[in-house]
Amino acid sequence: MSVTKEIKRVTTNSLQEMKRRGEKIAMLTAYDYSMATIVDESGMDIILVGDSASNVMAGHETTLPITLDQMIYHAQSVVRAAKRALVIVDLPFGSYQGNSKEALNSAIRIMKEAGAHGVKIEGGVEIAESVTRILTAGIPVMGHLGLTPQSIYKFGTYTVRAKEENEAQKLREDALKLQELGCFGIVLEKIPAKLAKEVTESISIPTIGIGAGKHCDGQVLVIHDMLGINKGFKPRFLRQYSNLNQLMNAAFKSYIADVKAKNFPNHTEQY
Ligand code: KIV
């Protein structure tokens, strides 16, 4: 008799329950099969196929250039790997701003072609119609407020958002609106910890913070940043759990040295 342990998938409902019982939610980005396999096996609750792929996978300066087709390609690879984690995929810039029908079509492509479990979309009341339309199709939606990188040319800088009262008030209202529309969660990016705490306590859906302090219901980081792959990217909010840049560099140098010294392959490494 084979004893296979059934893996229970994290769902949007289990995330709500986690908030209710005070269990923090761990979310991390991934963009390819191999990384996503390791992330999923670690017990991560949510894997985000973020449009940060535009930066860390493709080398663009911003998240704006990545296309819907490219996001779907990354998402397909991640979905193949994820057995337990909930896989959420960013709607990229230009795939939802036109109108709510375009937003719905983009979300449907992500669900149908990649097999994702939900989408994330940047913005508040301005995108209410699109959020509603996507939700009406039965697609779970996660909001994203605060620093919304797709609007970087409007902000002009990646500094902390909502420090001023008028912007903080808009964020509070946006969070309530997204909850009212039916979003299952909201990413809060780079806002004061005090405001994130207030918003987290004012809504019943989970908030996931990045640079938004410890009171959010969960945390998210970009995998390349937390593994220390990106040399020199060390914003205050980032905790580096490894220094893969150094480790990989040392491995590559050893390999080069072995090849040059005719040390690789040796007699046990050949046929
Ligand atoms: O694209 C991304 O990685 C994100 C996270 C920073 C939340 O949106």
pTM: 0.97
Are 201 and 249 within one domain? no
Q: What is the pLDDT of residue 231?
A: 87
Cis peptide before 265 (omega within 30 of 0): yes
Q: What is the pLDDT of residue 66?
A: 98
Are 146 and 267 within one domain? no
Q: How confident is the model at residue 7 (pLDDT cuts 50, 70, 90)?
A: confident
Are 218 and 258 within one domain? no
Are 30 and 42 within one domain? yes
Neighbours of 213 (CB within 10 A): 17
**Residue with more model confidence, 1 or 166:** 166
Q: What is the pLDDT of residue 156?
A: 94
What's the chain's average pLDDT? 97
* Closest atom of ligand 1 to CA, residue 122: 8
> Do 40 and 83 touch, CB atoms closer than 8 A?
yes
Are 263 and 182 within one domain? no
Q: Check whether 4 has a pLDDT greater than 90.
A: no
Q: What are phi and psi of 43, to 5 degrees?
A: 100, 20
Distances (CA, A) of 58 to 52, 62, 196: 9, 10, 31
Are 254 and 135 within one domain? no
Are 207 and 261 within one domain? no
Q: Check whether 48 has a pLDDT greater than 70.
A: yes
**CATH code for the domain in which residue 198 is found:** 3.20.20.60
189 catalytic per annotation:
yes
User: In testing the pocket of ligand 1, which one of 29, 189, 237 has its CB within 8 Å of the most ligand atoms?
Assistant: 29
Are 236 and 256 within one domain? no
Q: What is the pLDDT of residue 10?
A: 98
* Closest atom of ligand 1 to CA, residue 120: 8
Q: Which residue stretches of 82-188 are H helix? A: 100-109, 128-136, 152-155, 165-181
Average pLDDT for 9-22: 98
HSE toward the beta carbon, residue 117, CA cutoff 13 A: 20
pLDDT digits (tens, 9 = 90+) for 148-167: 999 999 999 999 999 999 99
End-to-end, the C-alpha distance of the chain in Å comes to 38
The domain total for the chain is 2
Are 253 and 230 within one domain? no
Residue nearest to atom 5 of ligand 1 (CA): 50
Q: Which helix (H) or strand (E) holds 244?
A: helix 244-260
| Cα distance between residue 193 and residue 180, in whole Å | 23
Q: Which residue stretches of 22-111 are H helix? A: 33-41, 53-56, 68-81, 100-109
pLDDT digits (tens, 9 = 90+) for 177-197: 999 999 999 999 999 999 999
Percent of the chain residues topping a pLDDT of 70:
99
- The residue range of the domain holding 269 is 243-271
Are 44 and 166 within one domain? yes
| Residue 28: strand, helix, or coil | strand
| Residue 17: strand, helix, or coil | helix
| Cα distance between residue 40 and residue 28, in whole Å | 10
Are 41 and 15 within one domain? yes
Residue nearest to atom 8 of ligand 1 (CA): 50
Q: Check whether 3 has a pLDDT greater than 80.
A: no
**Widest Cα–Cα separation across the chain:** 70
Sequence-separated contacts (24+) of 32-39 with Cβ below 8 Å: 32/57, 32/74, 32/77, 32/78, 33/77, 33/78, 33/80, 33/81, 34/81, 35/223, 36/77, 36/78, 36/80, 36/81, 36/82, 37/81, 39/81, 39/85, 39/223
Q: What angle do CA 163, 123, 28 make, to 5 degrees?
A: 85
Q: Catalytic: which of 122, 189, 198, 269?
A: 189
Q: Check whether 266 has a pLDDT greater than 90.
A: yes
Tokens of 138: 């039965």
CA-nearest of 168, 219, 166, 220 to 194 is 168
User: In testing the pocket of ligand 1, which one of 191, 210, 230 has its CB within 8 Å of the most ligand atoms?
Assistant: 210
Are 147 and 267 within one domain? no
Q: How confident is the model at residue 1 (pLDDT cuts 50, 70, 90)?
A: low
Average pLDDT for 73-93: 98
Q: What is the pLDDT of residue 232?
A: 85
Q: Check whether 223 has a pLDDT greater than 90.
A: yes
pLDDT digits (tens, 9 = 90+) for 59-68: 999 999 999 9
Who lines ligand 1 at CB under 6 A?
A: 29, 48, 50-52, 90, 187, 189, 210, 220, 222
Q: What is the pLDDT of residue 136?
A: 98
